[in-house]
Structure 1
Amino acid sequence: MSDLGRTPLDAIDAVRRFAPAERVLPTLLQRQAERYGDRRLLVFGETVWSFEDTARIAAASAKTLADAGLRHGDRVAILCSNRPEFLQVYLGCSWLGVIAVPINLALRGGQLEHVLRNAEPALLVIEDASFPALDTIDAGLLPAKTWVVGDRAPARAGWSALPVLGEGIAPGPVKPGDTVAILYTSGTTGPAKGVCCPQAQMFWWGVYSARALDIREGETLLTTLPLFHTNALNAFYQAIINGCTYVLEPKFSASRFWDSIRKHEANVGYLLGAMAAILLAQPERPEDREHKLRVALGGGVPARFHDVFRSRFNVPLLDGYGSTETNFVFASPIPSDHPGSLGYLAEGVEACIVDENDEPVPDGVSGELLLRPTRAFSFATGYYNMAEKTVEAWRNYWFHSGDRVVREPAGHYRFIDRIKDTIRRRGENVSSWEVEQILLAHPAIGACAVYPLPSELGEDEVAAAIQFEAGAALSPEEVLRHCEDRLAYFALPRFLTFVEAMPLTENGKISKPTLRSRGVSEQTWDREKSGYQVKR
């Protein structure tokens, strides 16, 4: 056995050790259980799974799914917070060949209905704390079977508690190109799209992320990010592939983050967007530098926070870029040589910056970022039940990211803005189109535009300009109350501006650039400054 924490990744090269047909989670779990045995893999509170435990749990969870009638390719919707049961169900799905459909816990109303309608799950696994979300949707969209996680008794016909695990079964006929999960990402001009993530894509997420973070065998990786997003899931793969311990926290807490890092002696952490700024806003403590954290992912952290973060906490931030459809495709050195950039292109990925006609532009000129893999099934395979959107995004054999990027002459890439109207807030993508549809559903609202405005933390805030119907009026609070049961909390506008007329382009469309340029004016209502409490 190697010296824990001292073996570099290339000494346990997963690409060499796992042949292409073996880059599926059942094989990873079985092989690593043989290699690492009772070494800790998962830690969540008092729950600890070894590598051997995890393989057994996956096999046993798969049997509960098979006994319930689930078959290869069926979908299982998971509406559950960070807890071992989430991973238990996910592992069972991957072992059997069933598709896991993790759902953002904040979804309500039409957003949640769309996911259920699109995915058509055969089974719903729901945490009891998420029962209220179902009160906002058409119950006819729920599958016939529902398993409940938590202490509250199942409340509806066809519902039962999450089955107790027993004996396991052999893995199903799982292939690297089989979809292991459908992860929903907000659209820009339409409803959310379900990204089909194959088994091998998650393997490559683990490989690319671990290489970028220089993860070493036996290290402890700690994440507070939600399992219904790519990052926390791929950190689990990083741990499996590299013989590490994966510490999963219930959620991000600025006041408890460093206490958890110290308690678990974590070596690698995961911070996205505003999280680093939120930690810096906490009162300084004498023990700020007393920990073993070696590096933290800092994708989307503004450049001005990098040196301050490292100076205060003695932790360098890794710049990087990835999307649910692609992989960890850009990464900086540790520490970043160009803080706030995307970093450099990863091995195994091709990138191209193009104009509106998909023609390449030279270095130093911004355009849309296009990506494609050179490794089989290392990117997503398309959007579930959305053939036209799949063809549109992957046209000309490249994935079109929708991000405006520039490749600098020195070789690193820099993000400029989003080409379409998506808003990135607190690590979540917000579809301006979806928010606009909810606002326009109110009879008093005649026209509206939703767009991003910068926050104090370096990310976007959701802003809305609203034009009322003749003779109608609403207070800002009434607008938000209309939205609260219909939108995820993170999609609720922070800034509201009531206008007599919308600025228009020459083609008669609402000019969002004009609205953005106005910023926050004296006429703008600020939800946070008003003290309005958002329901979650």
Structure 2
Amino acid sequence: MKQLAPWKAGEQDTINAVLRRAAERHGDRIFLEFLGDEYSFAEVSRRACRLANGLSALGVKQGDTVVTILDNSADAVFIWLAINKLGAISVPINTALKGEFLRHQVGDAGAGVIIAEHDYAERVAAIADRLPELRTLVYRGDMPNLPGFKQSMLPWSEILSTNTADQDVDVKPRDLAMLIYTGGTTGPSKGCMISHNYAVTFAHQMIRLTARTQDAITWTPLPLFHKNAVCSTVLVNLMIGARVSIYTRFSVSNFWPEIERTKATDVAMLAAMFPMIAKAPDNDAMKRCYGQLFAAWGAPFPPDIQAIWKERFGVKHTVAGGFGLSECSLMTLLPFGTPARPGSSGLRNEWFDVRIVDDNDVELPPNTPGEIIVRPRMPHIMFEGYWRRPEDTLKVMKNQWFHTGDIGMFDEDDYFYFVDRKKDYLRRRGENISSFEVENAFRAHEAIEDVAAHAVLDPLGEDELKVTIVLKAGAQLDAETLCKWSIEHLPYYAVPRYFEFRTDFPRSPVGRILKYELRDQGVTPTTWDREKAGIVIKKR
């Protein structure tokens, strides 16, 4: 292991200071573009000031939470910055949430003011009687029809003050800027408390990762209710004086026309977006944009898909080197220009002390999988805990280290490799099985749309492996045939005992598979059992 950096102060900063510096340095240069509307650095600052003054008139003060349920728009950027100007805490909520999912996060945040698109306002009204701290609902767009809504309701125009004076609020780097709610795949979602300095540090990490410069025009369709879009795109470009173009939502057909229209030089996307573009048919805009993109960033971004982007689209750099969580931004990253290694997710960095440990928190040697634990090397670069949940915070801070619940390893040169979620990492008859690797193997089958590999408890008290499968439309496949296929494609010890076909998985509102529900359901009446079918696997 290389010599690790000592504790140091780092660059303590705030989002508010970043905005003020950007407005002073870059003034009337265009910073933000949305569907043809353009806003300079100075105008973005003025809009944020106007909204901050409007929120102040509603009684929003330092330390208050303000919930936003907004689609991508320039206004979504302005209101985020406005909330922070007051020293208040921005709580961007996923626009897919409704019912109890929505009530849980909004109620947990405890906001007195909620700002929502007019159609999402109806969802808020439906749960308003269970939101005791709500006093004002601000709607954006047409006035919603909310019969029986008892709290105050105002249009967006009412909070857009004519007063452009900046707020005189002493906001410190350690103060909270936002709450980002976790996905809740293992239980109720929790609000990660993100400080101003955490957000700015994450942006610094992204600059190191992408080498983005002032000449960049960054295009992204990522939702602004995610920390990724806000910090790794908007805040980064605000810091370096570059331009950002925000799109409503991802669309394969509109991708290249948008790249051509905005003259984008780099794109920030996620996961399935990259292969969808890579495998889409040619179009005229794509051909005209060959070589226009300097960089494409996102994760996961498999090497084979990166190769397609470079060869087919003329993209000079594809970037995917980093591993992080809502609680601790990027624990590892690959500085721009550093050689990557297949399957790795970056290197150790100066911001975090990351270790791989066994169940007793004893550090493991290189190339040995174990739980990833982490602590900061600078003040206020990790989350400040879970909002209103000190007990949950203490649970993950064993031995004064944040325990991620993920399995990973470092090689002898400090390259990091993600292995699996700890809850999904099985040990069966003396062999370790990564559900992550099992799922990747099954996704190679031409008939499979998606798969979840997970444990079920065997009557003898040991974990057994089950795969729950969703087939592609029109595909035909039975469990025995798939089992025999898996014997040829997986190590003998990773061949599942149980197989089950479904039309879909239990999912969270953001689309993540709820594996804990699959584990709890265990062996169902429609589960096929390899051992009962008499299929014997030979060790090989």
| Offset from partner CA, 1:432-467 (integer Å, 9 cap, x none) | xxxxxxxxxxxxxxxxxxx999657999957599xx
1:301-312, aligned counterparts within 5 Å? 301-312=301-312
Aligned match for 2:55, one of 57, 65, 70: 65
Kindly indicate whether residue 227 of structure 2 is the aligned counterpart of residue 226 of structure 1.
Answer: no
- Residue type matched to 2:218 in 1? L
1:527 matches 2:503: yes
Distance 1:38 1:367, change over 3 A: same
The answer as to 2:458 corresponding to 1:505 is yes
Distance, in Å, in 1 between the alignment partners of 2:83 and 2:169 is 10
Q: Does 1:255 align with 2:253?
A: yes
Instruction: State the 1:20 CA deviation.
Output: 4.6
Residue by residue over 1:470-489, the C-alpha shift from the partner in whole angstroms, topping out at 9 and shown as x without a partner, is xxxxxxxxxxxxxxxxxxxx
Q: Does the 8 Å CA contact 1:278/1:457 hold for their aligned counterparts?
A: no
Secondary structure of the residue that 1:256 maps to in structure 2? helix
Q: Answer with 279-288 or 39-48: which moved more.
A: 279-288
Is the contact made by 1:321 and 1:330 (CA closer than 8 Å) also made in structure 2? yes
Shift of 1:94: 0.4
State the distance in 1 between where 2:140 and 2:217 align: 27
> What do residues 404-429 of structure 1 show as CA deviations (whole Å, max 9, x unaligned)?
1111223211111111269xxxxxxx
RMSD of aligned alpha carbons = 3.2
Q: Could you say which residue in structure 2 is the equivalent of 1:322?
A: 324
- What does residue 41 of structure 1 align with? 31
Cα deviation for residue 135 of structure 1 reads 6.7
- How is 1:269-308 mapped onto 2 (pairs within 5 angstroms)? 269-285=267-283, 287-288=286-287, 290-308=290-308
- Does residue 165 of structure 1 match 2:161? yes
1:346 to partner: Cα distance: 2.7
Task: Normalising by structure 1, report the TM-score.
Answer: 0.76
Partner of 2:482: none
Partner of 1:364: 367
Structure 2 residue matching 1:255: 3-state secondary structure: helix
Deviation digits for residues 152-188 of structure 1, max 9, x if unmatched? 3463441110123311342412110111100101234
Deviations 1:368-413 (A, max 9, x none): 1122222221111111011111112232232222221111223211
Number of the residue aligned with 2:197: 200
The answer on whether the counterparts of 1:78 and 1:101 sit within 8 Å (CA) in structure 2 is: yes
Alignment-derived partner of residue 468 in structure 1: none
One-letter code aligned to 1:199: H
Give distance in 2, aligned partners of 1:190 and 1:113.
Answer: 15
Quote the Cα distance in structure 2 between the aligned partners of 1:359 and 1:36: 50
Q: CA deviation at 1:302?
A: 2.6
Residue equivalent to 2:488: none
- Equivalent residue runs for 1:121-520 within 5 Å: 121-134=111-124, 137=127, 139-141=129-131, 143-153=134-144, 155=146, 156-157=149-150, 158-162=152-156, 163=158, 164-167=160-163, 168-234=165-231, 235-285=233-283, 287-288=286-287, 290-315=290-315, 316-319=317-320, 320-332=322-334, 333-334=336-337, 337-420=340-423, 455=443, 461=450, 504-506=457-459, 511=463, 513-516=464-467
Native 8 Å contact 1:317 1:335 kept in 2: no
For 2:388 and 2:460, locate their aligned partners in 1 and report how far apart those are by CA, in whole Å.
Answer: 33
Stretches of structure 2 that go unaligned for 5 or more consecutive residues are 1-8, 426-438, 472-476, 480-499, 512-540
In the superposition, the TM-score normalised over structure 2's length comes to 0.76
Compared CA separation, residues 507 and 270, structure 1 to 2 (3 A): farther
Is there any run of 5+ residues in structure 1 with no aligned partner, and where? 1-17, 423-450, 466-501
In 1, the alpha carbon distance for the partners of 2:441 and 2:106 equals 31
Greater C-alpha radius of gyration: 2
Contact 2:408 2:418 in 1 (8 A): yes
